[in-house]
Structure 1
Amino acid sequence: MTAATIAALTTFAAVFIALLAAHSVGDHLIQTHHQACTKGAPGLVGRLACLRHVVTLTATKVGALVALILVAGLRPPLLATAVALAVDAASHYWADRSAPHPDRTQAVTLERLAKALRKGGFYQLGDRMLAPTGTGAYALDQSWHIGWLFITALIIAGGAS
């Protein structure tokens, strides 16, 4: 194994762990109640609530990467990191526009994807308004986000080689 390969693998592992921790904090602790309840609303109100959530979530991820840089001395490439975080933010916004909202009358984004993948029944499990974190929709939402964190870490690590 070459030094470049080891460096890329180290970068990937460290970045993925930092992003995974930051995702959990940003998606659950930092997100406001208003954002969580409104980000799936139709129209400008929902789009802006979702955008505010994604901005604070991305800032949380940037904070985790800065901590990683300061503590571990890791130096991920700036351009690859910026591109990767933009890709992650876009994927998160896309999926979160499917958030439960009483005014939503049609399947949107992640729900449509779940149906296309024959996971529509799983997506519908549980009451999304009463217990959003104990539902099929929540499990698929988090799976989507974690998959994109993997891709984000790959983009950053790939830019380091």
Structure 2
Amino acid sequence: MQHEDLVRAVVAAVAFGVMLAGHYVGDHWVQTSGQAYGKGLDADGCVRSAAMWHCAKHVASWAVTTTAFLLVAAWWLRLPLEPGWLAAGVALNAVTHFVADLRTPLIRLGRLLGRSGYLDEVGVVRASGVTNSGPGTGLFELDQAWHIGWLAVSSLIIAGPPT
């Protein structure tokens, strides 16, 4: 393995780790309740423009959070990030996050790929009843898996192309 390849591997690994941490902070601490409840196109009485706006606000704050985690780590570790690859990785991550968080595209993809039973049957019972999108549901688990998969792809992009 050449030095450049080793550096890229370290950048990808660090990017994935810190962006995963930033992802969870952005999704569960930074996101407001209004954004969490309002962003889904699958909600009863959904107004599409309002859902898109809530989702856009969430993804913007989420992207700032994950990018901040990444930039602090890069500064701290003196990682050589290329601005173009960084922007491409962050943009891919934001777009895929937005699509998934509208819920309907993810639900349709899950059903298309044979995950209907998982979507319909996996869910914890809460005191107020069963919800269809929060923690403990099939949709939530598929959502998080989607995000983490795209974090991995984004991390490889951020590391730059093979030399």
4+ aligned runs moved over 6 Å, structure 1: none
How many pairs does the alignment contain? 151
Q: Give the equivalent residue in structure 1 for 2:43.
A: none
Q: Give the equivalent residue in structure 2 for 1:102.
A: none
What is the aligned-residue identity percentage? 34
Q: Structure 2 stretches of 5 or more lacking a match?
A: 41-45, 124-129
Whole-angstrom distance in 2 between the partners of 1:74 and 1:155: 15
Q: Give the equivalent residue in structure 1 for 2:143.
A: 141
Q: Is the 1:54–1:89 contact (alpha carbons within 8 Å) kept by the matching residues of 2?
A: yes
Residue of 106, 110, 125 corresponding to 1:110: 106
Aligned-residue offset at 1:69: 2.0
Q: Is the 1:77–1:160 contact (alpha carbons within 8 Å) kept by the matching residues of 2?
A: no
Q: What code does the residue aligned with 2:10 have?
A: T
Residue of 57, 62, 65 corresponding to 1:60: 65
1:1-161 paired onto structure 2 within 5 Å: 1-40=1-40, 41-98=46-103, 108-124=104-120, 125-126=122-123, 127-128=130-131, 132-159=134-161, 161=163
Aligned-residue offset at 1:71: 1.1
Q: Structure 1 stretches of 5 or more lacking a match?
A: 99-107
Whole-angstrom distance in 1 between the partners of 2:158 and 2:151: 11
Whole-angstrom distance in 1 between the partners of 2:82 and 2:161: 6
Whole-angstrom distance in 2 between the partners of 1:69 and 1:140: 30
RMSD of aligned C-alpha atoms? 1.4
Whole-angstrom distance in 2 between the partners of 1:24 and 1:42: 27
TM-score, scaled relative to structure 2: 0.88
Q: Could you tell which deviates more after superposition, 18-27 or 65-74?
A: 65-74
TM-score, scaled relative to structure 1: 0.89
Q: Is the 2:5–2:162 contact (alpha carbons within 8 Å) kept by the matching residues of 1?
A: no
Aligned-residue offset at 1:160: 7.8
Aligned-residue offset at 1:128: 2.6
